[in-house]
Amino acid sequence: MRLVSLLAVLASPAIATLAMAEVDQGPPNASFAPAFPAQTRAPALPVTAVSASLFAGGLENPWGIATLPDGNYLVTERPGRLRPVSATGEVGAPINGLPEVETRQQGGLLDVAISPEFATDRRVFWTYATDSWRGRATAAATGILSADATRMTDVEVIFRQSQAIRGSGVHYGARIVPDGAGHVFITTGDRGMNDDAALLMDPGEDLGKVMRLIADGTEPADNPLAGIADAGDVWTLGHRNVQGAALDGDGTLWTVEHGPRGGDELNRLEPGANHGWPVVSYGIDYGGDPVGGGLSNDPGFVEPVYYWDPVIAPGGMAFYAGAMFPDWQGDVLIASLNPGGLVRLRMADNRVAGEERLLPDLGRVRDVEVLADGSILLLTDSGDGGIWRVTPGN
């Protein structure tokens, strides 16, 4: 159907040891109460000492990162460039052959991921904003990376939002996650159509959805809404702007999404579930008005596993598995754009048991990647952005 800065205080590449406990989050929206204990403001975890060192600098608004089997990396820059980065931090020239990218406002070249069989097929997936006479939209493409990492060939667009929006350059969503079984999940945002509940709740429209496609762009026959007109690629609906997504150890997809003023959410996705935006929200409009009918929840919608009020403005996310932080196994790591840094959530039975805020002085963190040795890479999203490597501190 549809195819259709790093802050100045950290300018030195020297290692900085930074950690903090739960920060003062300010007053919550008083009219909302959590639906169950620790759905928000979970107990503060013990402080972890971590060190962050600059691994690669000089990137312009980096958005997504993927680790290659040989220890090198691919990094997107929102202005439209995909760059190789060596295992020792050298940033290479932009890779040729990608489609044209719409770069206004929040649009641009966004996420990047590799095929689980990259060592043999060299297949790469990426998401980006595109523009046409109909308007701007989220798109996803795939291609084959040349052996010298200079060119993408056999490029095919595997997804393009059918509902393009003219005049809006926000809320593209745009994480892409291969599941290891021949599918990719693609997140979309509401594209700023906050007040149009009928449009966003329509399963036949691809705004505010998480999509699941076969890696060639076709629709899986076992998707939850298969057989419903124009909805065969939808996995879940009722999302505002999903900018983080990751599979847990059981293969279940989790997401983090931006709320308005308050109401950022962590969600565990079940096929066909409706998460309620914009009918319900644990946040309010930026001007102070209620969202929808002013309700934070409703029996017809799935509750978020966790929400933040005030927000963390989430970027990418990952589940931790590694040797460097043995106490973190299975914890959720989330990039924060505001107030910045890294958010760690301790999980227990698919609920949040504790929260820690780390590295706030890094400022806007856009993505997080856990490496095979257990260290962590963070992308800082500023004009002079970079990649920081996080290891245990003193």
Active-site residue set? 171
- How far is 354 from 356, CA to CA, in rounded Å? 7
Length of the chain: 394
- How far is 384 from 5, CA to CA, in rounded Å? 5
Closest CA to 72 of 383, 391, 377: 377
β-pairing verdict for 385-392 and 376-380: antiparallel
Dihedral pair phi/psi, residue 117, rounded to 5°? -105, 30
User: Do the Cβ atoms of 246 and 253 come closer than 8 Å?
Assistant: yes
| Identity of the amino acid at 301 | F
- How far is 59 from 75, CA to CA, in rounded Å? 9
- How far is 162 from 192, CA to CA, in rounded Å? 15
Residue 312 pairs in a beta bridge with none
Q: What are 329's two structure tokens?
A: 């196994």
* Burial environment of residue 185 by CB neighbours within 10 A (0 to 12, 13 to 18, 19 or more): buried
Peptide bond into 339 cis (omega under 30): yes
Handedness of CA 321, 322, 324, 326 (dihedral sign): positive
Peptide bond into 310 cis (omega under 30): yes
